[in-house]
């Protein structure tokens, strides 16, 4: 296992590559080579959307083709070409959050339509679960790299993904839990814009509980409201053994 030496936020290029890799592993394990083919079809929908954008003369380097999605440097290069083309056409460029959301939703739609709601949704959610647990283990390693244990109070302070103005949230620290309420989410906004709520929420159901589990098997998340349903995401992060935080409690 590689030693962590850089505690800067993990880039969305790296996070996207990890998600795509877990989806590919899961759908090929379940559905064989056809699973990969259907995943490729989902990615192609995103490429077709890019090509259909008016006033954009997109070079091949700007298209998020399947073979580019498993290497963070290739994703970064593709994203930069795409953003530059959008800017040249006077458009507001997509964010990498939006691109990842589009890729996930179109892949999920293709998988569910081909393999059925029950099997398809389970494949996608299990992919997110494995991806989330990997991220959680990495967060625990990030904490360990600065001499902190994988306890509740060291979770958010060592989180891997940077938060930007594309996310709006409030965090409250209670004696036995961390409570978070998100009123704005870049992923959810893109899924709502695209009418892909039914597929995006498969990601929402799994991601935070899985990251918490990877961080510490006793760490769990109650996610009882969703931006895609109720307009806010509400989380309660708790240790099963009732562990309290080391630091001060926010009022």
Q: What is the pLDDT of residue 242?
A: 52
Alpha helices, DSSP H only, in the chain?
12-31, 33-52, 72-88, 96-115, 117-145, 186-194, 197-215
* Residue 249, domain member (yes or no): no
Confidence of residue 133 (pLDDT cuts 50, 70, 90): very high
Q: Which tokens sit at 24?
A: 């590919």
Please tell me the distance from the alpha carbon of residue 23 to that of residue 28, in angstroms, as a whole number: 8
* Residue 46, domain member (yes or no): yes
* Residue 247, domain member (yes or no): no
Please tell me the distance from the alpha carbon of residue 173 to that of residue 60, in angstroms, as a whole number: 48
**Interval 149-175 mean pLDDT:** 92
Q: What is the pLDDT of residue 7?
A: 78
Average confidence score pLDDT of the chain? 92
**Phi and psi at residue 13, in whole multiples of 5°?**
-65, -45
Strand, helix or coil for residue 148: coil
* Residue 248, domain member (yes or no): no
* Residue 138, domain member (yes or no): yes
68: CATH = 3.90.1520
Confidence of residue 2 (pLDDT cuts 50, 70, 90): low
Is the pLDDT confidence value at 246 over 70? no
Sheet architecture: strand order including 233-239: 168-173, 177-184, 233-239, 219-225
* Residue 34, domain member (yes or no): yes
Q: How remote is the C-alpha of 51 from its chain's centroid?
A: 24
* Residue 148, domain member (yes or no): yes
Owning domain of residue 160? 12-239
Please tell me the distance from the alpha carbon of residue 216 to that of residue 195, in angstroms, as a whole number: 35
* Residue 6, domain member (yes or no): no
Confidence of residue 165 (pLDDT cuts 50, 70, 90): confident
**Interval 65-81 mean pLDDT:** 98
Domain count, the chain: 1
């Amino acid at each position: 296992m590689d030693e962590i030496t850089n505690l800067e936020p993990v880039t969305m290029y790296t996070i996207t590559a990890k998600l795509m890799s877990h989806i590919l592993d899961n759908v090929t394990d379940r559905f064989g080579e056809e699973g990969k083919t259907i995943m490729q079809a989902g990615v192609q929908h995103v490429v077709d959307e890019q090509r259909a954008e008016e006033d954009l003369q997109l070079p091949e380097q700007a298209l998020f083709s399947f073979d580019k999605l498993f290497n963070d440097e290739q994703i970064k290069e593709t994203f930069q070409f795409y953003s530059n083309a959008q800017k040249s056409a006077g458009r507001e460029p997509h964010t990498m959050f939006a691109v990842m959301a589009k890729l996930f939703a179109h892949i999920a739609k293709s998988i569910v339509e081909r393999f059925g709601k029950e099997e398809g949704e389970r494949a996608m959610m299990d992919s997110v679960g494995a991806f989330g647990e990997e991220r959680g283990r990495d967060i625990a390693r990030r904490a360990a790299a600065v001499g902190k244990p994988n306890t509740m109070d060291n979770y958010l302070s060592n989180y891997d993904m940077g938060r930007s103005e594309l996310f709006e949230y409030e965090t409250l620290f209670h004696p036995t839990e961390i409570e978070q309420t998100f009123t704005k989410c870049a992923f959810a906004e893109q899924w709502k814009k695209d009418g892909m709520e039914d597929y995006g929420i498969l990601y929402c159901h799994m991601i935070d509980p899985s990251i918490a589990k990877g961080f510490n098997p006793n760490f769990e998340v109650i996610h009882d409201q969703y931006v895609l349903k109720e307009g806010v995401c509400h989380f309660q992060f708790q240790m099963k053994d009732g562990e309290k935080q080391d630091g001060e409690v926010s009022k």
